[in-house]
Structure 1
Amino acid sequence: MATRRAFLGTTLALALDAWRPATAAGTRVVLDRLQPGIYVARAANAEATRANAGAVVPSLVHVTRAGVLVVDPGPQAAWGGALLGAIRALTTQPVRWVVNTHAHPEHVLANTAFAGLRPRPQFLASAATAALMRQRCEACLASLSAQLGPAAVRGTAIVLPEPALQDGAWLHTGDTAWRVQVHAPAHSASDTVLYAPQRRLLCAGGLAYRERVPEMQEASLQGWRQALRQLTTLPADTVVATATGTPAQTLVPTLAYLDALANGIGAALAAGHDANQAADAVAAGPFRHWRHFPTRHPLNLQRAWRQLEDAWMQGEPPA
């Protein structure tokens, strides 16, 4: 039976209808309704672990009269199969578009669940994301198997997207037009954003977090900050990224955290301090309650210091 819950802060109350579809390999996917025809898969707001089988991406599903759009289908075949089951509980329309926003395995490896459909969907990404997936998806699959256990990724194969999404172009899905933005580098080497202005809906991939410390393993601190500054200017009510929420719950705090890193480390470099004083330089108090702060934040300090120190040595203070 459909459930209702208040969502997305005091300025936005959306009714979310939940479907519980048939499972695939013990996996269950629940789709919550954000808007007419727009759904998001419930996922853990956490790092990928064996306990959650890597199901940490709230895949977006857009049902139209022209077919179904899926953005970031998830980490492995079982999750993708269960997501497809959830879609089939909603509509008999074919899945026509599968978008990969960036080349991180928990976002893209469930492509395999959609590859055998007839008609076959278009698998779409930016040119840089498609190239990165071609270069490293085999290694990413092996790494994810070691991380989650071989059983979790059983049946998962590499399905590469077309390098068809270009910055400034439009992706038309039925009556909805999505403006494509490509930010490179930012959270990753290339991050694709879909923005539907008529729906005030922003699909931001890995660029925004909600009460979880951002993961900077492959990030450009300055590029990520610049991307978020652009996204915060867009008229949007809802952001679907590593979690779902309003811009004030996702974009703004993620940018505040990255700004705290840049500003604190920049001031420390200007004062002649070294990397051992990075933690003292960054005003991290507002973020200490975020998930994974004790483990993720120290790594982010190291990475941000290295990046900003290199820029500082070349005479480029933090922007």
Structure 2
Amino acid sequence: MFEAMALLCTLAGGACREAVLPGYAADTEAACVAALHAHPPDALASMEGIAPVSPRCQPRPPSTLTVTEVAPDTFVHRGAVEEPGPGNGGDVANLAFVIGADGVAVIDSGGSRAEGEAVYLAIRARTEKPIRYLILTHMHPDHIFGAAPLKEAGAEILGREGLTRAMAEREGTYEGNFARFIGEPGFLGTRMVAPDREVGAEESLDIGGHDLLLSPQPLAHTATDLTVLDKSTDLLFSGDLVFDSHTPTLDGSLLGWRKVLAALGAGPATRVIPGHGGPILPWPAGEVDTDRYLSVLETDARAAIKAGEPLSEASRTIGLEEAGHWRLFDVYNARNATAAFTELEWE
């Protein structure tokens, strides 16, 4: 197979990388070139700060993404349990794809366009079936910034009701931060892509042999959490409602998160793909560590409030007994403590 490729470089000419332009795959180079001439790629025009390039066709490159088949036709990539940086290119969250008889559904897309291209190539290494859906589990940049190449490949992007607005409100901050964290060339060509459709109530997607139940969740990890249950395998894709190894991050409601975990734990799933770590855990046992951490935050924050401690002092002690259980604890716990204290103080 042949794919359309382009050399992306900054206007200043300092950094470059080879990029895949999905949507032009063909059995022959001539057919790929003809498709490029018939429909020049819009993606290049949307890449701000990129020097003009001339796309070309070449044999399909291998994917740089490592994936594991955790259930029939179900593949998971485990992101690094690290802060996003040049060494990992923003690849710090788990993502997955399910291959059905009628097409492919992708759950989360990674932290950069380059990672989204790698997801596309990982899928194409296993099937030429159409990529029908990209399901975004929530708004955080390490889960959404790889969306563009999957959309170019034909995927309809789905997210929870409210995701479009949440992404728009944070677009500048997220793009600026990730561009700084990852640096060039890793972030070249990356842009935020809004959902094509928002999910406001439970719905099923049938991709042929895999019936995927999409469930928008109440305010919990964020205000935009969406879970996916594959009814054919009883496998739950939780997004960041479940963490493993990586310290949980609270960007919504502590109490709401605990309620959502309890409800999910009573559901039919037998295994879970967490947003970080794993990449696969038994269910509901897989929620224990996340809920224990949240429970400690709640207990400590209530005690600090009752004792009249100021937030500046309480944020340094809330949750400290959990330090030995998590990586990146020093990065995230203080802000989690602040969020927990603030929420409970106004109960």
Q: TM exceeds 0.5?
A: yes
Q: Describe how 1:189-268 pairs up with structure 2 within 5 A.
A: 189-216=223-250, 218-242=251-275, 243=277, 244=279, 245-247=281-283, 250-268=286-304
- The CA distance in 1 between the partners of 2:94 and 2:331, in whole Å, is 23
Contact 2:137 2:159 in 1 (8 A): yes
More strand by share: 2
Which one-letter code corresponds to 1:74 in the other structure? G
Structure 2 counterpart of 1:97: 133
Superposition deviation, residue 225 in structure 1: 1.4
The alignment's TM-score, normalised by the length of structure 1, stands at 0.82
Contact 2:134 2:157 in 1 (8 A): yes
Which one-letter code corresponds to 2:238 in the other structure? A
Deviation string, structure 1 residues 15-70 (Cα, Å, up to 9, x no partner): xxxxxx9456xxx1011001111010132123322221110122111001110000
Which one-letter code corresponds to 2:328 in the other structure? H
Structure 2 counterpart of 1:111: 147
Superposition deviation, residue 262 in structure 1: 0.6
The higher radius of gyration belongs to 2
2:221 to 187, 190, 199: 187
Superposition deviation, residue 277 in structure 1: 5.3
1:48 to 84, 87, 108: 84
Deviation string, structure 1 residues 59-97 (Cα, Å, up to 9, x no partner): 111001110000101111111111111111111111111
How many percent identity over aligned positions?
A: 26
- The CA distance in 2 between the partners of 1:187 and 1:144, in whole Å, is 20
Deviation string, structure 1 residues 146-204 (Cα, Å, up to 9, x no partner): 12113211122332212332332222222222222212321112100111233111111
Structure 2 counterpart of 1:149: 183
Contact 2:110 2:144 in 1 (8 A): yes
Which one-letter code corresponds to 2:257 in the other structure? W
Which one-letter code corresponds to 2:239 in the other structure? G
- The CA distance in 2 between the partners of 1:74 and 1:281, in whole Å, is 33
The alignment's TM-score, normalised by the length of structure 2, stands at 0.76
- The CA distance in 1 between the partners of 2:308 and 2:124, in whole Å, is 60
User: Aligned in 2, Cα 1:134/1:280: closer, same or farther, shift over 3 Å?
Assistant: closer
User: Aligned in 2, Cα 1:90/1:304: closer, same or farther, shift over 3 Å?
Assistant: same
1:133 to 148, 152, 167: 167
- The CA distance in 2 between the partners of 1:57 and 1:212, in whole Å, is 10
User: Aligned in 2, Cα 1:130/1:104: closer, same or farther, shift over 3 Å?
Assistant: same
Contact 1:22 1:82 in 2 (8 A): no
Deviation string, structure 1 residues 250-281 (Cα, Å, up to 9, x no partner): 42210110011112221332344443553687
Which one-letter code corresponds to 1:180 in the other structure? L
User: Aligned in 2, Cα 1:287/1:231: closer, same or farther, shift over 3 Å?
Assistant: farther
- The CA distance in 2 between the partners of 1:32 and 1:191, in whole Å, is 24
Superposition deviation, residue 287 in structure 1: 4.3
Contact 2:301 2:314 in 1 (8 A): yes
Contact 1:41 1:58 in 2 (8 A): yes
Which one-letter code corresponds to 2:254 in the other structure? L
Other structure's SS at 1:115 match: helix
Figure out how many residues of one structure are paired with residues of the other and give that number: 285
Structure 2 counterpart of 1:3: none
Structure 2 counterpart of 1:9: none
Contact 1:73 1:111 in 2 (8 A): yes
- The CA distance in 2 between the partners of 1:293 and 1:158, in whole Å, is 28
Structure 2 counterpart of 1:67: 103
Structure 2: segments with no counterpart, 5+ residues: 1-59
Which one-letter code corresponds to 2:209 in the other structure? D
- The CA distance in 2 between the partners of 1:281 and 1:267, in whole Å, is 11
User: Aligned in 2, Cα 1:154/1:51: closer, same or farther, shift over 3 Å?
Assistant: same
Other structure's SS at 2:145 match: helix
Which one-letter code corresponds to 1:136 in the other structure? R
